[in-house]
Structure 1
């Protein structure tokens, strides 16, 4: 939950995420994408129009009466989240108030084209993405955190438009300490119950704050938990890695999960194809 983001006693932690100012495509691939290394990139998102436009008033003026899908969850427990719909204006009113209790609503993982097509022109696809198959989704909300998880299909770029996010990252070799359940950790939030999850205390982690105008690169199979302590808007780009990288995961990721992830990737890909077909029929 929002608040103090320290919980480890080791003097060696946290490890620091490397920072790079507007690296070239070649530098990004050589130094970060190919070796599978996270990096915080500046000088790209800060050039977007969205950085000066995106706030509750702007969204309300464009689509306040539109009904949008949101997730209702206890703290950051994504695995137990319930889906519901509400007017965008009502949602923005909720997330701009001080939260009460531990229940949250979150407009997350939604396609901009389906929920807020008016703002697609406010940002551009980063040059670091070497695929035509890209999922571009929104994260708009406050006072939420995500359960620790990793992306089993490929890479991701978290592009922070307004507000900030605090992120903890764990390399794949830390998996035995994170109480894995598919691509999620069973651990839901902080402070962590070390009596219930004692191995977690031994985990090494990286930490960074992603501020407005910055982007964070997540390699495939890197664990991460994300906290959003204040009203925040972000665009996240997901794109798949080649099957060779997915089928031969780094040390720490159990091999028997890989077929499960691959089957899920077929399901998600089929869903995307079906949506395109339906859109072409309607349009």
Structure 2
């Protein structure tokens, strides 16, 4: 199967395909690039997960959410706070522009990324276990071997919320159930332009990054507008940024493409570095420590030798 990529003003429009899940699985496995599957069956959730029906059907439980006044959530400045709220109350507030009850102010915004357990006993998120009263409404896409599944994450957000750019080490599909979102992604090859701090980009405003991040605007950017029922394939290590246009509900399903030995057994979110990658970064810190013992011009020389070896042995050829 072939289909064209449309590129305008340096932006790649992510292909939107209306094919069977079997065909989509074949295409995404071969290409390993972002794709959107539209018109596929996600179950009754696309009809039953409206704010009103969710409020009726969800069992009362406390969830921890991000609460902020600014729409672009920034992990560096922590322009949000973590608050505990009953999930029914969250659904009620998140669909409104203002609320009489609030944590910060009437126009605050909310974002839930469901977790299992608590800070002392964190577990991998599982929709069936965490929200059994609604989980049967959602049909997990048949896009990967069931034994490779890692987690299924419920996400609820106010309109306007943008989550910081980051990458995951597992493949995943972002299933948009209620509301519309803008998805922006960047390939792993753009890592040098992303201004990373761990697995996250330090650029909070991706449309106006400012002079602090001069390379970010030239990064190769992929975009898609997600509608209810859309399934976005996000390959591992692809940077992604999601913005909700209105009240939104989504389910992220993650799976492990590689052998289990490559993943950190204490990774509950799917964003801890792969074991060989983490070891390499630690070794690199030791290399830097050694190079800083030299005068600057000598350190520069040997640093360039190191980069040259990495390029020859590890970089993908264009």
TM-score range, shorter chain: 0.7 to 0.9
Q: Secondary structure at the match of 1:94?
A: helix
Partner of 2:277: 258
Residues 1:231 and 2:244 aligned together: no
One of 63, 71, 76 as aligned partner of 1:68: 63
Cα distance in structure 2, aligned partners of 1:262 and 1:129: 30
1:163 and 2:184 correspond: no
Cα-Cα RMSD:
3.2
Q: Which residue of 2 aligns with 1:58?
A: 53
Counterpart residue number, 2:88? 89
Residues 160 and 11 of structure 1, relative CA distance in 2, 3 Å threshold: closer
Assess if the C-alpha contact under 8 Å between 2:181 and 2:244 holds in 1: yes
Pair 1:114–1:35, CA change in 2 (3 A): same
- Specify whether residues 215 and 173 from structure 1 end up closer, same or farther in structure 2 by C-alpha distance, changes over 3 A only: same
1:116–1:105 CA distance, 2 compared to 1 (3 A): same
Q: State the partner residue of 2:216.
A: 200
- Give, in whole Å, the separation in 1 of the partners of 2:198 and 2:259: 18
Aligned partner of 1:43 among 39, 52, 57: 39
Contact 1:194 1:200 in 2 (8 A): no
Gaps of at least 5 residues in structure 1 are 1-9, 248-253, 264-283
Q: Would the alpha carbon gap of residues 238 and 102 (structure 1) be closer, same or farther in structure 2, given more than 3 Å must change?
A: farther
Query: Is contact 2:172–2:255 with CA below 8 Å preserved after alignment?
Result: yes
1:19 equivalent among 13, 16, 21: 16
What is the CA–CA distance in structure 1 between the aligned matches of 2:15 and 2:151, rounded to whole Å?
25
Please tell me whether the aligned partners of residues 262 and 276 of structure 2 are also in contact (alpha carbons under 8 angstroms).
no
Greater strand proportion: 1
Counterpart mapping for 1:174-185 below 5 A: 174-185=190-201
1:148 paired residue number = 165
Find out whether 1:187 has 2:203 as its counterpart.
yes
Number of equivalent positions:
245
Structure 2: runs of 5+ lacking an equivalent: 1-6, 99-104, 116-124, 264-272, 283-318
1:243 shift after superposition:
4.3
Answer whether contact 1:160 1:212 (CA < 8 A) is retained: yes
The question of 1:212 aligning with 2:228 is answered yes
TM-score normalized with structure 1 length: 0.75
User: In the aligned structure 1, how far is the partner of 2:279 from the partner of 2:202?
Assistant: 18
Alignment-derived partner of residue 280 in structure 1: none
Aligned-pair distance for 1:56? Answer: 1.7
- Aligned pair in 2 of structure 1 residues 56, 21: CA closer, same or farther (>3 Å)? same
Task: Say whether the 8 Å CA contact 2:175–2:229 is kept in structure 1.
Answer: yes
2:164 partner SS: coil
- Which residue of 101, 105, 108 maps to 2:113? 108
1:25-36, aligned counterparts within 5 Å?
25=22, 27-36=23-32
Larger Rg: 2
Contact 1:31 1:37 in 2 (8 A): no
Q: CA deviation at 1:210?
A: 0.8
CA gap of 1:262–1:204, structure 2 versus 1, over 3 A, is closer
Bigger RCO (CA 8 Å, 6+ sep):
1
Hey, what does 1:241 align to over in structure 2?
Answer: 257
